[in-house]
Structure 1
Amino acid sequence: MIDQGSGAYVMYLDLFKGFGLKDQDFTKYDSPLLSFDGRVVIPQGQISLPVNMEGKEVMVTFIVVNLFSSYTAILERPWIHTMGAILSTLHMKVKFRTKYGVATVRGNQQVAQQCLVATIRWKDEQAKHKEIVEKAPL
């Protein structure tokens, strides 16, 4: 996901492990983050990795967090500027210049909807679990 208002480059732990990276691959990151739902999140660490999109590569330092998300990573506004990109959330497209011309990366509306549904279902399950825990006899 590309979030124009995000204050951090975020990588979720599932993607970090999916790359075959280990805990010793990231460096310490001490500042807590605030999640989309307002909770304080303590990061696992940070790691710098190249992000290659359509042949244009930029080094990005990601903060690694162990949270559920239907996304794998969040890129913030400075990435958009570094890429010289133009972003349209309405059209789910990012355009930027490469040495071969203008590249267009298209999002997928169906996948975006699936991410939204997965997030809503996860939140519903969390709410049900919380109710069960609160109603459990001591």
Structure 2
Amino acid sequence: MSMGWLLVEADDWESKRARGMATPLIEFSDEDKLGTLQPHDDALVITLRIGGYNVKRVLVDQGSAMEVMYPDLYKGLKLKPEDLTAYDSPLVSFEGKIVTPKGMIRLPIQTGSNVVEVDFIVVDAYSPYIAIVARPWLHALGAVSSTLHQKVKYPSEGRVKQIIGNQAMARQCMMSAISQRPSIEPSTSAKNGL
């Protein structure tokens, strides 16, 4: 009895796969590291089409629960305060400072033929990145990211497509962030020679 059920299930799966409805398997292998500088600990920085424009220096942060837009993108898209909806929960910047957002805006992000709309929190703070995309975008796209492989992979049209990271840009962003960091007072233990 259960054998027949398995056969029906397998036949159903095959028919879905033939119609292109099955989700392709997303995986990473050593081949995906080809073309990357290894070993590394670079962030995953990509170019995305946001609001109809190709936007460079977009950080993929799967540890974040919200997409963030910084002043360069806000100005580049010619957004105005009246384009934003209220968002009053404070955020913590990379430097650990509390930042009050200017507001929120819903914008499309296009990857190939896929378009996903996400809510960007607009902040007026320094960042070496133009924007940060996070779990809401990754989940809506069905994407999986790998900093090790410097790729975002996502299912589309029955295939796995990918966005390749830019390690040189990631390193430039890191250097920019380090150069913008305010000097820090030596700790008490450092002053005491510990």
Superposition TM-score tier, normalisation by shorter sequence: 0.7 to 0.9
1:56 aligns with 2:133: no
What is the CA-CA distance between 1:32 and the residue it aligns to? 0.6
Q: Which residue of 2 aligns with 1:133?
A: none
Q: Percent identity?
A: 47
Q: How far, CA to CA, are the matches of 1:3 and 1:81 in structure 2? A: 12
Q: Which residue of 1 aligns with 2:52?
A: none
In the alignment of these two chains, the number of paired residues is 127
Q: Normalized against structure 1, the TM-score is what?
A: 0.85
Largest Rg, 1 or 2:
2
What is the CA-CA distance between 1:122 and the residue it aligns to? 1.1
Q: Which amino acid aligns with 1:108?
A: N
What is the CA-CA distance between 1:81 and the residue it aligns to? 1.5
Q: How far, CA to CA, are the matches of 1:26 and 1:78 in structure 2? A: 19
Q: How far, CA to CA, are the matches of 2:104 and 2:136 in structure 1? A: 17
Unaligned runs of 5+ in 1: 131-138
Q: Normalized against structure 2, the TM-score is what?
A: 0.62
Q: How far, CA to CA, are the matches of 2:162 and 2:73 in structure 1? A: 24
Q: Which residue of 1 aligns with 2:46?
A: none
| 1:20-39 paired onto structure 2 within 5 Å | 20-39=78-97
Instruction: Indicate conservation of the 8 Å contact 2:61/2:135, yes or no.
Output: yes
Q: Which residue of 2 aligns with 1:44?
A: 102
Q: How far, CA to CA, are the matches of 1:78 and 1:63 in structure 2? A: 12
Q: How far, CA to CA, are the matches of 1:66 and 1:33 in structure 2? A: 11
RMSD of equivalent CA atoms = 1.7
Q: Which residue of 2 aligns with 1:15?
A: 73
Q: How far, CA to CA, are the matches of 1:99 and 1:127 in structure 2? A: 50
Could you list the structure 1 runs, at least 4 aligned residues long, displaced by more than 3 angstroms after superposition: none
Q: How far, CA to CA, are the matches of 2:178 and 2:108 in structure 1? A: 31
Instruction: Indicate conservation of the 8 Å contact 2:118/2:136, yes or no.
Output: no
Unaligned runs of 5+ in 2: 1-58, 186-194
